[in-house]
Amino acid sequence: MKKQPLAYRMRPTDIAHIIGQSAILGEGMLLRRMVETKQLSSMILYGPPGTGKTSLARAIAGTCGYPFRMLNAATHQKKDIVVVIEEAKMSGSLLLILDEVHRLDKGKQDLLLPHLENGQLCLIGATTANPYHAINPAVRSRCHIFELATPQPDDIENVLRRALRDSKNGFGEASIHMEEEAIPHLARACGGDVRAALNALELAVLSTPKNEHGERHITLKTAEQSIQKKYIQHDKDGDAHYDVLSAFQKSIRGSDVNASLHYLARLLVAGDFASIHRRLLVIAYEDIGLANPQAGPRTLAAIEASERLGPPEARIPLANAVVELALSPKSNSAYQAIDHAIAALHKGESGTIPRHLKDAHYQGAKQLGNGLTYQYPHNHKSGWVKQQYLPDAIAHHQYYDAKKTGKFEQALAQVYETLQHK
């Protein structure tokens, strides 16, 4: 009998072995509590391919010790669901893991719903599609929805090394030597798809003949061929990683769109999506800022789109964001202003809050004189009234230095200058 694929054999049987999902399985999180108390409700797990949806479903069943059956909503027929329902009636309860749950047609859905309602069946649906768009509301309303994150290269590297050590399901009994960069390359090049990384590792091992000492020597070149991606020098814990990120931000800041796309490509090929996302959001507010205030929300939308899409399509919204940021007018005025204000505080430049600005809503505030002379700007036709807001000790301090590199900040600068001279 042919041995099952490594990715199948290495599927976790306990949630303790699930990687990269602390947002839903961390201490105190709802799904973690459901599993620990063995009080499962029907749920839908969704996320990009290879993030471990089915593996998590099986691990939930394994941790709880629940009997389960696995079906695919696209390929299994109504008669297969009937068999599962009859088994659930005999056992009292059963866990149904349903892959591609978004492909559940009305006939199968109508068959399942009564048994989800009476608790005989507990459904764990898995899908790559957004359940709010792709899953029938009748099913969705009966399920908790959990979104799986794309595992990071560190997590995937740990899985690969565990597969090499595991004597029962992995290659622990074989004599294998991996070149230093081979495993990190597989972990990065798979684009967050754990299954793809394990498949590539298995191919690399099985396609490498033993040497005279009975050892399989896996080179970086073999790893590249196994996952069909070339190694690019990008050590995320070393100088090369920070050099690329530095060049990426400085190219966007310098409005060189071609260089910006080049460094984005290097980060994409390295599979370092977490660094891309964080750096783009920083750039949107640090370097573009008030010169194009919509760049921040649009960048965040691009990041969220890339997370939903997963590789390779994730590159598309990220490229849109990079082109916009590189070609946007630049301003660091707000960023500089808050830094100046913080630096002033560290120097001891503070003071007592003016009495007319103090809270006047509690009993006894009036006796203290708090808020008595405060002027409410909305009571004035201009929406503005001259009064002091800074403490007396620093009443004339200015932290904000307006720039005029974009139409929005030009308008802010004009208002600022007008108010300064009133």
Asked if residue 233 has pLDDT above 60, the reply is: no
Residue given tokens 């509301």 in the structure block: 137
Q: Is residue 50 a contact partner of residue 196, using CB atoms and an 8 Å limit?
A: yes
Structure tokens given for 372: 């008595």
Q: Which whole number is the average pLDDT over 401-418?
A: 83
pLDDT above 70: percentage of residues in the chain: 95
Give the model's confidence band at 365: pLDDT under 50 very low, under 70 low, under 90 confident, else very high. Answer: low
pTM above 0.75, yes or no: no
- In order of 91, 137, 266, 391, the CA distances from 94 in angstroms are 7, 23, 47, 67
Asked if residue 354 has pLDDT above 90, the reply is: no
Please give the Cα distance from 387 to 419 (Å, whole number).
11
Tell me the pLDDT tens digit for each residue of 157-200.
999 999 999 999 999 998 999 998 899 999 988 878 888 999 99
Give residue 238's pLDDT. 44
* Sign (positive or negative) of CA dihedral 197, 202, 205, 209: negative
Considering only CA atoms, give the Rg of the chain. 29
Tell me the pLDDT tens digit for each residue of 10-28.
988 889 889 889 999 999 9
Q: Is residue 261 a contact partner of residue 235, using CB atoms and an 8 Å limit?
A: no
Give residue 389's pLDDT. 82
- Residue-averaged pLDDT of the chain: 88
Give residue 381's pLDDT. 82
Please give the Cα distance from 96 to 73 (Å, whole number).
11
Please give the Cα distance from 189 to 204 (Å, whole number).
14
Q: Is residue 95 a contact partner of residue 61, using CB atoms and an 8 Å limit?
A: yes
Give residue 325's pLDDT. 95
Please give the Cα distance from 253 to 325 (Å, whole number).
8
Please give the Cα distance from 296 to 304 (Å, whole number).
12
Please give the Cα distance from 299 to 150 (Å, whole number).
19
Nearest by Cα to 266 from 322, 217, 219, 306: 322
- Helix, strand, coil percentages for the chain (3-state, nearest 5): 55, 10, 40
Give residue 1's pLDDT. 41
Enumerate residues 6+ apart whose C-beta is below 8 A from 317.
301, 302, 303, 305, 306, 309
Please give the Cα distance from 189 to 272 (Å, whole number).
9
Q: Which whole number is the average pLDDT over 347-365?
A: 79
- Side-chain-side CA neighbours of 68 within 13 Å: the count stands at 27
Strand ranges inside 186-289, DSSP E: 216-218
Give the model's confidence band at 237: pLDDT under 50 very low, under 70 low, under 90 confident, else very high. Answer: very low
The burial of 75, by beta-carbon neighbours within 10 Å (0-12 exposed, 13-18 middle, 19 or more buried), is given as exposed
Q: Which whole number is the average pLDDT over 307-320?
A: 92
Report the amino acid identity of residue 215: E
Structure tokens given for 421: 């001279």
Domains of the chain and CATH, by start: 21-147 (3.40.50.300), 153-227 (1.10.8.60), 239-327 (1.20.272.10), 348-420 (1.10.3710.10)
Report the amino acid identity of residue 304: E
Asked if residue 234 has pLDDT above 60, the reply is: no
Please give the Cα distance from 328 to 295 (Å, whole number).
8
